Chain A
Amino acid sequence: MIEVIQLTKRYRTHRAVEGLSFRVNPGEVYALLGPNGAGKTTTLRVLATLVKPTAGTARVAGFDVGEAPLAVRQRLGLVNGGMRVYDRLTGREVLAFFAGFYGLQGQAFRQALDWVTGLLQMEEALDKKVMEMSTGMRQKVVIARAILHRPPVLLLDEATAGLDIFARRALLDFVKAYRDLGNTLVYSTHVMTEAEEVADRVGFLHQGRLVYEGTKTEALALGQGSLERAFIQAVKEAA
């Protein structure tokens, strides 16, 4: 579960996020939607304990991001569109490297590897060096790295950026499958059609503020069947 409480993040004079509050329940995909610069990445980085909030707080899987960052990271996975893995290692070596930080070694690692390769259908990626992989296959390794320890919370930030149609489809299917395992997901994107497919609830972020929150059905009703129109309507009403 994720709880964000009056979260504010400022970079010098720039207010990236201001007074943001929302909650995501287990078994739910929460789509955080907004244009570039809306504050989506900053929000997810705070949740991932990579940046510290200026004010407010957030709790991930029961742990405060400021007080227990290592405990949060143990229970969290993060995938973003710009994330890469080590190009001179094979897929298996990359996963073994990261698995070790979660105590997954020997038999435990092999079991985790079997599970993740089955889920993402990435057997052929295991013994190839990352530099020799296609973009889609690399992204599968990035996702596998993030979920190998089966985190109950998964954050995806513009995760389909740069992916071809097949890889994008595989990722969207994966998001739904991982949600169905009872996990908590935040899916951040500016591509509204992706959110229409995977989201259970949506939050519209504009200039660092949450201007709308509701179920996908409610948001689609607001936008007459389109999340894009709903977003524009919500921004106008908030102005």
Chain B
Amino acid sequence: MKGIYRILWKELVQVFRDRKLVFSTLVLPVFLMPVFMFGPSLLLNRLMQGAAEKRQEVAVAGLPEEALSALRQANLAPVAVEDPEGAVREGKYPAGVLYQEGVYRVYARLSGGLTEGQVVAGRVQSALQALKEAKVAEVLARRGMPVEVLQPFRVEVQNASPERERAGGLLGFLLPFFLVVFVLSGGQVVAVDATAGEKEKGTLEALLMAPVPLWQIALGKTLATVVMALLSGVAGLLGLALGGALAARYGGGILTETGQVLDLGGRVVLDGASFVALFLSASLLALFMGAVMVGLGLYARSYKEAQSYLAPLQLVALLPLLFLQFRGFLELETWHHLLPLFNVALLMDALLKGTATPAQAALAWGSTLVYAALALGFSVRVFAREEVVFRN
């Protein structure tokens, strides 16, 4: 068994002496994650706030005085033009309004992502809506009717999620997603270097000459992959936490394509047992994927070929996680907890929300351990195939 430790040590020393690799795998994610996740929303918040507070010019035609007045009250500056739609299309004004036959037509360039025009159009719409409501209230008052007649009852939708589920928010999906992404990318670095890299550099033959069983070599390399994968996962999560802290302080969240900023929930409350369970889940996932990557890496003739095998593996591994978004529509059955990768993602999601059960954890861990053992068996078989080991 000392052979396993020796190989693990050698692989990790080789990796940690490569400063560029350590920087790109373990340091960079900590700082890039906040920038990627929260930077756009923070920037957008500033821009939206600026657009909302700024006195914007609006192209108008045919508007009655009361509408012009409503726009001015909304901190907008109506400018009379002949053709508001044309003026907006040419980019002369962010928004325009045309009043014709009892209809206010608001123009803005609404395609091609979030624009200042959308913000101004919204302000115009709000100003005209307020004017409309004031006029309705005035008519009702003249007829001696209370304004409440327009709203006989209210409808309220309340969030009935348990407190921990509510606190988890979108992180329930994002944490497993990013953990898998970082586990795969961090593990890949060692897996490729320890297999195809050894072949390409000509060091593998010397290692195979050592009086140590093949399974110990495969396991040593897999464990090195697991260590790096977990460290990479921790770096990614640190980046996520750092981003979350910054977002909580300065306001922000995940920016969607429609410009909505999704609230992340902001805090994840984990008790000690859940934290250990989360770590164990990530470790088993890393063991499983590490063994697969070591096997595939050794099968490859070169670095390039190994990367060409592992890039699709990342996509395949992420596919089940995409379905995690739809977990609310699924009635979970036992076999869901046996599906590779999906089972770990489901368990992590449940741990974050405080809904995990011992049976679910046992199924996910047990099945992942079996998959890891099978993958390790695959790696050993690949190591034992001389036409693969010497085919470079």
Give the interface of A toward B (CB within 8 A). 11, 45, 48, 50-52, 70-71, 73-74, 76-78, 80, 82-89, 93, 97-98, 100-102, 129, 142, 145-146
Contact = CB atoms under 8 A, between A and B. Distances in A.
A50 B390 contact: yes
B14 interface: yes
Contacts of A85: 203, 206
Nearest to B212: A101
Interface stretch (B2-10, B73-81, B111-119, B317-325): B2-10
Interface string B208-220: 1111110000000
A129 B201 CA distance: 15
A101 B6 contact: yes
Contacts of A50: 205, 208-209, 386, 389-390
A83 B202 contact: yes
A157 to B, nearest CB: 10
Nearest to B15: A88
B210 A73 contact: yes
B18 interface: yes
B13 interface: yes
Sorted nearest first, the 8 A-B pairs with minimum C-beta distance are: A84-B202, A73-B211, A88-B17, A101-B210, A51-B386, A74-B211, A70-B211, A82-B202
Nearest to A102: B211
B65 interface: no
B101 interface: no
A70 B3 CA distance: 13
B257 interface: no
Contact of A86 (B3, B203, B212): B203
A78 B205 contact: yes
Contacts of B208: 50
Interface residues of B, number: 24
A45 B212 CA distance: 17
Nearest to B391: A11
Interface in B1-41: 2-3, 6, 9-10, 13-14, 17-18
A100 B13 CA distance: 16
A80 B390 CA distance: 14
B387 interface: yes
Contact of B390 (A51, A86, A146): A51
Given A70-B213, A78-B209, A89-B14, 6 more contacts: A52-B386, A70-B212, A73-B210, A88-B17, A101-B210, A145-B206
Given A50-B386, A52-B386, A101-B212, A86 B10 contact: yes
Contacts of B2: 100
A11 B212 CA distance: 25
A84 B213 contact: no
A87 B17 CA distance: 10
Nearest to B10: A97
A87 B15 CA distance: 11
Contacts of B10: 86, 89, 97
Contacts of B202: 82-84
A215 B208 CA distance: 33
Contacts of B390: 45, 50-51
Contacts of A102: 211
Contacts of B389: 50
Contact of B18 (A51, A70, A84, A88): A88
B386 to A, nearest CB: 4
A83 B210 CA distance: 14
Instruction: Pick the most buried of A48, A52, A71, A101: most chain B CB atoms within 10 A of its CB.
Output: A101
A11 B388 CA distance: 12
A87 B201 contact: yes
Contacts of A82: 202, 205
A48 B210 CA distance: 10
B213 A83 contact: no
B210 A98 contact: yes
Contact of B209 (A71, A73, A88, A129): A73
Interface in B337-392: 386-387, 389-390
A217 B201 CA distance: 39
A74 B209 CA distance: 9
Contacts of A145: 206
Nearest to A11: B387
B88 to A, nearest CB: 62
